[in-house]
Amino acid sequence: MKFNIKYPMLVEQAYSQLIAGGLKPRKDKLYKMLVDEGMIDELGNPTQAAIDNGLVENVENVENNPIKRFKAENPNFSNIPDQHFKVKDGRVLMDCFAVKEAATIVLNDPQATEEQKGNARSLLQQVNNLDNNEWH
């Protein structure tokens, strides 16, 4: 039986960054390590030490920046440089590079479902047929 455990946002972000870097961590072990190292508390909130050392951003900074908020809410995009995003009419748009990167992260994620991987393949196919200078 496979459980669908919901991990805190900071664990998901760290996991996505490690996957993007080619590593294949286990989320349960990553969560434990982040707690043991004093990066997050047991509820997944950043510790003051993590904020003071610049390891996570202050929540107010994230809430006031639509791109940072989008990336915090969508961890697969957290490792993609901000230059690949822009805000238009209150919506966060991304260029083809960002879409391709996020889809590739999902495809390389051993915990992604077949449905998620199918969606990522479909998205890659659609993006490959677009002008790479377009924003989506």
Model pLDDT for residues 37-73, shown as the tens digit of each residue: 998 999 888 888 888 877 776 655 556 788 888 887 7
Q: Which residues contact 108 (CB under 8 A, 6 or more apart)?
A: 19, 22
| Residue 101 pLDDT greater than 80, yes or no | yes
135 in a domain, yes or no? Answer: no
Contact status, residue 68 vs residue 62, Cβ threshold 8 Å: yes
Report the b/e string of 60-71 with b at 16+ CB within 10 A.
Answer: eebeeeebbebb
136 in a domain, yes or no? Answer: no
116 in a domain, yes or no? Answer: yes
95 in a domain, yes or no? Answer: yes
Contact status, residue 44 vs residue 10, Cβ threshold 8 Å: yes
What's the pLDDT at 62?
57
Indicate the number of domains in the chain: 1
1 in a domain, yes or no? Answer: no
Could you tell me the pTM of the whole model? 0.56
Q: Considering only residues 29 and 73, tell me which one the structure prediction assigns the higher pLDDT.
A: 29
Contact status, residue 72 vs residue 10, Cβ threshold 8 Å: no
59 in a domain, yes or no? Answer: yes
Domain limits at 47? 9-128
| Residue 93 pLDDT greater than 60, yes or no | yes
What's the pLDDT at 134?
64
100 in a domain, yes or no? Answer: yes
